[in-house]
Amino acid sequence: MTKLTETRKTPKRKKPDGHCSPSPCPPSKSSKKANVTAGPFNDSEPFPDYSQPTPEECRAVRDDLLALHGFPKEFIKYRKQRSLDHIEYEEDDTSGADSSTESVLDGLINTILSQNTTEANSQKAFASLKSSFPTWECVLAADAKLVEDTIRCGGLAPTKTSCIKGILSSLLQKKGNLCLEYLRELSIEEIKRELSCFRGIGPKTVACVLMFQLQRDDFPVDTHIFQIAKTLHWVPAAADVKKTYIHLNQRIPDELKFDLNCLIYTHGKVCRECSGKGSNKPKKEQCDKLCPLLGQSSNAI
């Protein structure tokens, strides 16, 4: 398995293909040295005396799940992009540039559509939205009912439409165009503050954008990951999702976060033995008693 490099450089990026409005994103006026975090992301240690998971435990789980599942295909494109993140491109260099790079705004809205639905339905909803409206300006200008009909297959259409149009309207008022690429130049703390200002955007959505679109070392906690973290005793039994997110981000080594998150998420969808919140439907990949994590959880206390 190829290890992700810990040292990051800020690359000279190619602009994502056709995602931003003609005018460039306005630069942030805030300093990258700012380290004040928004309320939902208060990073004070919630469990200062809780020593799990150790780096060795994280690496062992990563290796076991990788041997069991292989690296999940749906996340390979993001993994490749993280590799490219270490390469500095010249602005006039077209070799090796990925013209299909997903824009930050696309990723944010795609994540919103993925909430409370299946991956297949959310992808259908996003594809339908993109094919029905050529630009995000068109989505903002469209009647809400029309947008709702376009994304209805993803569930919660009225709520998600309101959230999406609210983000687009707020972004236009704040920045003058519908583009979030300026976030690539900000610190993690600044990105969290910027995204948390949008109505309906919570910590998990922000963490997903950080990890997938912005290639930052963050560890989102969804239902599957939360349950498996408890099964492995990586957090105290009384921990909630918010404290689990803070604790795991402080305990898991940065270089393991991306692979480990993708693998635990994938494992949680197919293993009911260690993920009580997983699907009850039988699956070909069901591991049940063969789950490699069960032995680790029994020795974790």
CA distance 298 to 61: 14
- Can you say how many angstroms the Cα of residue 282 is from the centroid of all Cα atoms in its chain? 27
Answer whether 126's CB lies under 8 Å from 153's CB.
Answer: no
Pairs from 1-5 (Cβ < 8 Å, separation ≥ 24)? 1/63, 1/66, 1/71, 1/259, 2/83, 3/255, 4/82, 4/83, 4/255, 4/258, 4/259, 5/86, 5/255
Query: Cα separations (Å) of 225 from 5, 86, 240, 253?
Result: 24, 28, 12, 16
Tokens at 45, concatenated: 């240690």
**Residues 264 and 53 sit within 8 Å (Cβ to Cβ):** no
CA 263 to chain centre: 13
Can 204 be counted among the known catalytic residues? yes
Spatial separation of the C-alpha atoms in residues 151 and 156, rounded to whole Å = 9
Q: Are 32 and 286 in contact (CB under 8 A)?
A: no
Q: How far apart are CA 121 and CA 141, in angstroms?
A: 25
Distance from C-alpha of 143 to C-alpha of 158, rounded to nearest angstrom? 12
Separation between Cα atoms, residue 241 and residue 248, nearest integer Å: 10
Place of tokens 């270490």: 86
| Catalytic one of 9, 14, 124, 204 | 204
CB 263 within 8 A of CB 65: yes
CB 263, CB 72: distance < 8 Å: yes
Tokens standing for 196?
A: 């948390």
By annotation, the residues acting in catalysis are 204
